[in-house]
Amino acid sequence: MNITPNAAGGILIGQRAGYADQFTNGLIPEVIGYNQTLNTTDRMKVESYLAVKYGIAIDQTVATDYIDSTTGVFRDATINSAYTGSITSVGRDDRGALNQKQAKSINPQGLVTIALGNTVLPTNASNINTFGKDRSFFTFADNNADMSSWTGVGAPAAMKVLTRTWKTQVA
């Protein structure tokens, strides 16, 4: 969105100009500002960064790739078109100042938490594990199937499995 300074020359974050009693009642974990309007590619870099860092999936109504700071695709929307539920990633992108070592989707249906290493720790910063190289990502998502639906297809004899399945992509 383009932001225009208010009449006093400032920019309000979390409050509507001229309405002292109308404000955001919640946390704003990060604000990213630029001195120009971003083109579509640069906007997708920012949206991908925020999606990975905060576990907020990019809307896939229109298939949208996740891209790193060099426009490298680390989640291909076309090959993952059947898996758009609770998209979650861990990854490192030095140029993009991203080092997400553990993650869980904020989607209430997101069941899986992932961490670099053997343990999910209280915070990303407390995870001391490191990625082997820059621009490394591991992303997964589910097929949005009902969590109460079970099937015998693909299950061992006399067993059932969830109809919800997950797909991963490593980049």
The tens digit of pLDDT for each residue in 93-138 reads 999 999 999 999 999 888 899 999 999 999 999 999 999 999 999 9
Amino acid at 52: V
Q: How far apart are CA 78 and CA 65, in angstroms?
A: 8
β partners of residue 62: none
pLDDT tens, position by position, 36-57: 999 999 999 999 999 999 999 9
- Confidence band of 154 (pLDDT split at 50, 70, 90): confident
What local confidence, expressed as pLDDT, does residue 126 receive? 97
- Spatial CB neighbours of 62, under 8 Å, sequence gap ≥ 6: none
Buried b (16+ CB within 10 A) or exposed e, 74-91: bbebeebeebbbbbbbbb
Contact in structure between 15 and 22 (CB atoms under 8 Å): yes
pLDDT tens, position by position, 6-31: 666 677 777 776 777 777 888 888 88
β partners of residue 44: none
The pTM for the full model equals: 0.85
- Reference 171, options 93, 54, 60, 112; nearest CA is 93
What 143-152 contacts at long range (C-beta under 8 Å, 24+ apart), as own/partner pairs, is 143/82, 143/83, 143/85, 143/167, 144/84, 144/85, 144/109, 147/109, 147/111
User: Could you tell me the residue ranges of all domains in the chain?
Assistant: 40-140+151-170
- Spatial CB neighbours of 152, under 8 Å, sequence gap ≥ 6: 159, 160, 161
